[in-house]
Amino acid sequence: MAPNIGNPEFRNEDPYSNMPYPDAGFRLLSLFRYWNMIEYFFPYKPLIKENWNDVLREFVPRFVEAKDEAAYQLAALELIARVKDTHATLQNPGKALEAHWGNRYSAAELSYVEGKPVVIDFFNPSLATRTTTSRTPASG
């Protein structure tokens, strides 16, 4: 376990860091590794509202059939999302997801008030004047 933190360290696992789009066998290995980390080490596993064994069965074909790096990474992100842990993500996903989603993001930070999106801040204040307009709502 990591000193002063208590998180498990998987020092004996090869990270295969030079394989952004590994073959089907290594994609399955990544699925099984992640599934096992959650199964045996995730302290909030009881809060996952679905059967974790069923999640594994669902993702085996998705990891095997991922046709390219973006499909593989999207499947991995969907798996990560199933544990609902905002600390979990892909490290250094590369250009595949950027090509899939683009590399731009909203200048405005939104929150929901009474079920409607409201601008509460700007990630870069200098973009605020370029983002807002003085339009009036259309009547009708």
Enumerate the domain spans of the chain: 24-101, 105-140
Q: Cα 69 to the chain's mean position, in Å?
A: 15
| Sign of the alpha-carbon dihedral angle for 72, 76, 79, 81 | negative
Sequence-ordered list of residues with C-beta below 8 angstroms from that of 99, at least 6 positions apart, any chain: 70
Q: What pLDDT score was predicted for residue 140?
A: 43
pLDDT number for residue 82: 95
Q: Are 41 and 8 in contact (CB under 8 A)?
A: yes
- One pLDDT digit (tens) per residue for the chain, 140 residues: 889 988 888 888 888 878 778 999 999 999 999 999 999 999 999 999 999 999 999 999 999 999 999 999 999 999 999 999 888 888 777 788 888 888 777 788 889 999 999 989 888 877 777 655 544 455 44
